[in-house]
Amino acid sequence: MGNRIEFTGNYSDHSTDRGFQFEFFCGRCSTGYRTRFKPWAAGTAASVMDTAGSLLGGIFSSAANITERVRSAGWQTAHDDAFVAAMEELRPDFVQCPRCSAWVCKKSCWNTKRGLCKNCAPDLGVEMSAAQASRSVEEAWAHAAMAEEDKKLDEKEWRQTIRASCPACGVPLATNAKFCPECGEPLKRKQHCTDCGAELTPGVKFCPECGAKVAGAPGGQKGQAHTGE
């Protein structure tokens, strides 16, 4: 055994002056494994002497003090040995990812097929299922928030331009209405170019297909356009 002790940050030390115990945990899911408590004989003996000294008026106090001085060095040596033994015991349950260097548990957080932790290489099936569930939740909320009249729209109607305000009076429209609730202006009027018949977007001055002037729009001389419901 060398003088250097290799260690990681994914552990907790529960050791006391009576013995040693360590807990190692996964850097991804925090699942942990704890070693069984390993008593330290010198610590137990010192505890007995301290108790005897208090019960018998300090008869063993000098012996207890000697043990206390020895314990500082002896405990640390025994602690190091116990720590190394604990790491060797639990090392088979963990793997260090070569990409992110995190120590993760083999049981839940290691992608054996990819040779990477699941943060770096998630399980594709799990991710696909989670994506589908997330999309379903989004669609459920979107559908619940729709007004009743909007729920009746078919795909063709949804592809049409839905106005946010009346083109005549400018009042904001709370729903996908057919007529303005303020001035009665038709909101579903379709406008077509008189030259080529292309459907026109409301408010345009010239046909985007052939360049014909839209009826009622200022400027330009070429062609005309007609409107209809």
> Is residue 229, in this structure, part of any structural domain at all?
no
Give the model's pLDDT for residue 144.
64
Give the model's pLDDT for residue 57.
47
> Is residue 37, in this structure, part of any structural domain at all?
yes
> Is residue 111, in this structure, part of any structural domain at all?
yes
Containing structural domain, residue 15: 11-117
Give the model's pLDDT for residue 207.
87
Beta carbons within 10 angstroms of residue 117's beta carbon: 25
Query: Which value, in Å, is the radius of gyration of the alpha carbons in the chain?
Result: 39
What residues contact residue 33 under an 8 Å CB cut-off, 6+ apart? 23, 24, 25, 90, 93
> Is residue 46, in this structure, part of any structural domain at all?
yes
> Is residue 142, in this structure, part of any structural domain at all?
no
Question: What is the tens place of the pLDDT at every residue in 144-155?
Answer: 666 555 555 555
Question: What is the tens place of the pLDDT at every residue in 163-172?
Answer: 677 878 888 7
Mean pLDDT of 73-98: 92
Helix axis angle, 41-55 to 61-90, nearest 10°: 150
Residue 64 pLDDT > 50: no
> Is residue 102, in this structure, part of any structural domain at all?
yes
DSSP string of the chain, one letter each residue: --S-----SSEEE--BTTEE-EEEE-TTT--EEEPPPEE-HHHHHHHHHHHHHHHTTSTTHHHHHHHHHHHHHHHHHHHHHHHHHHHHHHGGGEEE-TTT--EEETTTSEETTTTEETTTS--HHHHHHHHHHHHHHHHHHHHHHS-HHHHT--HHHHHS---SB-TTT--B-SS--SB-TTT--BSS-EEEETTT--EE-TT-SB-TTT-PBPTT-SS--S--EEEE-
Structure tokens, 48: 């007995």
For residue 190, the Cα-to-chain-centroid distance in whole angstroms is 47
Give the model's pLDDT for residue 24.
94
Mean pLDDT of 135-159: 65
* Adjacent-strand bridge partners of 116: 111
> Is residue 127, in this structure, part of any structural domain at all?
no
Q: Domains in the chain: how many in total? A: 1
> Is residue 199, in this structure, part of any structural domain at all?
no
